Amino acid sequence: MNNQLTLERLGFDPQELAAGVDEAGRGPLVGPVMAAAVILDPAQPIKGLADSKKLSAQNRARLDLEIRSKALAFCVAQASAEEIDQLNILQATMLAMTRAVQGLKVTPVRVWVDGNRVPKLSLPAQAVVKGDSLLDCISAASILAKVSRDHWCETIDLEYPQYGFAQHKGYGTKLHMEALCTFGATPWHRRTFAPVAAVLVK
């Protein structure tokens, strides 16, 4: 089934004032989970929008700037590592998404969320599996969330260079696990995640 038929089946209206929502950072062992909400301007189309994971870092950075300059509204929000430990990663992700939508300066008539779950919102919302590859507004949100999350990792890398956060972005790579075993957990680590919890009990 091609994308156009999929969008018709979903009832997506390109003229509707809709917000796309996506997250970045559910899998890493450290830092916040980021979410972004974006309302694109039909009068200012943006070429090259796609799932952020399929774009190079250079293209993501370029599109991030273009989205921020052309979108009718956007908001990037987060749930902290502490909130992730308190709530669990799924509920913290939903919280970050809710904050992103609530932070929009323009109220959409509908919200399209990447994945198979929607956060608690006062607006009509629909989940779209692989939405970051189907809807430009979700693609844009995935880019803002990913760039913001990567920037966070690069910033915290300056404070804790021995962990290599700028390289692995907080995922449980060999380099990261070796640093965890050698230096212990930072205040930014998610303590309920098994690899971090295992280090803490040693």
**Tens place of pLDDT per residue across the chain (202 aa):** 456 556 667 777 777 899 999 999 999 999 999 999 999 999 999 999 999 999 999 999 999 999 999 999 999 999 999 999 999 999 999 999 999 999 999 999 999 999 999 999 999 999 999 999 999 999 999 999 999 999 999 999 999 999 999 999 999 999 999 999 999 999 999 999 999 999 887 6
Please give the domain boundaries of the chain with CATH numbers for all domains: 3-158 (3.30.420.10)
- Full-prediction pTM beyond 0.85? yes
pLDDT at 28: 98
pLDDT at site 22:
98
The pLDDT value given to residue 8: 67
Q: Which residues contact 44 (CB under 8 A, 6 or more apart)?
A: 70
Which pLDDT belongs to residue 2?
52
CA distances from 106 to 44, 61, 136 (A): 16, 24, 18
DSSP conformational letter for 48: T
What pLDDT, on the 0 to 100 scale, is given for residue 1?
41
Residue 57 has a pLDDT of 93
Q: Are strands 73-79 and 125-128 parallel, antiparallel or unpaired?
A: unpaired
| In the block, residue with structure tokens 């972005």 | 169
Q: Are 77 and 100 in contact (CB under 8 A)?
A: yes
Residue 165 dihedral angles phi and psi, to the nearest 5°? -60, -35
Q: Say if CB 121 and CB 98 are below 8 A apart.
A: yes
